[in-house]
Structure 1
Amino acid sequence: MKLICISDTHSLHRRIPEILDGDVLIHAGDCLGQGTLENITDFNDWLGTLPHRYKIVIAGNHDWAFQETPQHARQALTNAIYLEDSGVEIEGVRFWGSPWTPTFLDWAFMLDRGEPLQEKWQLIPDSTDVLITHGPPKGIGDEANMGFKSQNVGCADLLARIQELALKAHIFGHIHEGYGEYQQGQATLINASTCNARYEPRNAPIVIDL
């Protein structure tokens, strides 16, 4: 199964570098710019032009409509499978998606570090093959430029949970500077952020074969 991975497109999806065909297109959150229902409609129209047999989308911290008007947001996203602490099995591969990230300022889908996030990660089934979260685990594709220094801002509890699982892949975004492919045991970890630190959609989709 070929996965085409993108994230953090911020309503700039029509400017993404070439998206190759594959079995499943995965968007790991922050698909929206202003976070509105109108943004979702435009994003959904674009998804409908893509050839992938399956498309999976999760929300991110910019995707306010999915938090504030969830029913309308889900109704507007007709061209993808939306996952929010939920899963789907496609051709025998079990996917699980979750939008949460550690609290930073006042954004959507944020929870405090420790027990609140840990409870979300414990929802991930042990049988999961491909995990999709918006944020990275601690120390992997999570180094953010804080202006005067860089800091690893990923979630330690998420790292602990993925180390308990026999994942084939973990796809995330959120920290644009962390774009790239990593390895954790037998699992391929991908920070698929499409936009760079300047919110320019310069990073190519990452392709992996399961």
Structure 2
Amino acid sequence: MKIVCISDTHSLHRQIPEIPEGDVLIHAGDCLGAGTLDNVEDLNDWLGALTHRYKIVIAGNHDWVFQEAPDLAREALTNAIYLEDNGVEIEGIRFWGSPWTPTFLDWAFMLDRGRALHDRWKKIPENTDVLITHGPPKGVGDEAQMGFRCQNVGCVDLLHRITQLSLKAHVFGHIHEGYGEYLLGKARLINASTCTVRYEPTNPPIVLDIE
């Protein structure tokens, strides 16, 4: 199965230079710009024009309408499978998606570090093959520029949970500076942030081949 990974497009999806062909397209959150229902409708039209047989979308901290008017947002997203602390099996591959990130300022789908996030990650099934979260685990693709220094801002509880699983891949975004591929044990970890730090949608989609 060929999986094409993108994230953090911030409603600039139509400016992405090229989307590779594949079986499944994953969008790991921050798909919207202003976080409105109009943004969802435009994203949905774009997704409908892509040739991938399956599209999976999770929300991110900019995707307010999925938190504030979830029924309307889901109804508008007819061309993708939306995951929010749940999963889907596609051709024998088990996917699980979750939008939560550690609290930082006042954004959507944020929870305090510690018990609240720990409890969310415990919901990830043991047999998950491909995990999709908006934010990164601690220390992997999570180095953000904070003033004059860089800081690892990922979730330590998410890191602990994925070390308990036998994942084939973990796809995330959120920290634009962390774009790229990483290895943790046998699992491929992908920060698929499409937008750069300057919000230019020029980071190429990352392609995975999963058996």
1:194 maps to: 194
1:107 maps to: 107
Please report the RMSD computed on the Cα atoms of aligned residues, expressed in angstroms: 0.4
1:64 maps to: 64
Residue 34 (structure 1) shift:
0.1
- Equivalent pair of 1:17/1:205 in contact (CA under 8 Å): no
1:39 maps to: 39
Deviations 1:153-202 (A, max 9, x none): 00000000000000000000000000000000110000000000011101
Structure 1 unaligned runs (5+)?
Answer: none
- Equivalent pair of 1:4/1:205 in contact (CA under 8 Å): yes
Query: Aligned AA for 1:201?
Result: P
Deviations 1:57-111 (A, max 9, x none): 0000000000000000000000000000000000000000000000000000000
Pair 1:133-2:136 in alignment:
no
Question: Bigger CA drift: 150-159 or 13-22?
Answer: 13-22
Residue 17 (structure 1) shift:
2.3
- Equivalent pair of 1:180/1:190 in contact (CA under 8 Å): yes
2:195 counterpart SS class: coil
1:54 maps to: 54
2:23 maps to: 23
Aligned length: 210
Pair 1:6-2:6 in alignment:
yes
Residue 128 (structure 1) shift:
0.2
Distance 1:33 1:146 in 2: 22
Residue 132 (structure 1) shift:
0.0
2:97 counterpart SS class: strand
1:182 maps to: 182
1:165 maps to: 165
TM-score, length basis structure 1? 1.00
- Equivalent pair of 1:58/1:97 in contact (CA under 8 Å): yes
2:35 counterpart SS class: coil
Pair 1:150-2:150 in alignment:
yes
Residue 3 (structure 1) shift:
0.4
Residue 147 (structure 1) shift:
2.0
Residue 4 (structure 1) shift:
0.1
TM-score, length basis structure 2? 0.99
Kindly report structure 1 stretches of 4+ aligned residues shifted beyond 3 Å: none
Residue 43 (structure 1) shift:
0.3
Query: Aligned AA for 2:106?
Result: D
Distance 1:115 1:17 in 2: 41
Distance 2:160 2:17 in 1: 34
* Overall identity of the aligned pairs, in %: 77
2:204 counterpart SS class: coil
Distance 1:204 1:17 in 2: 8
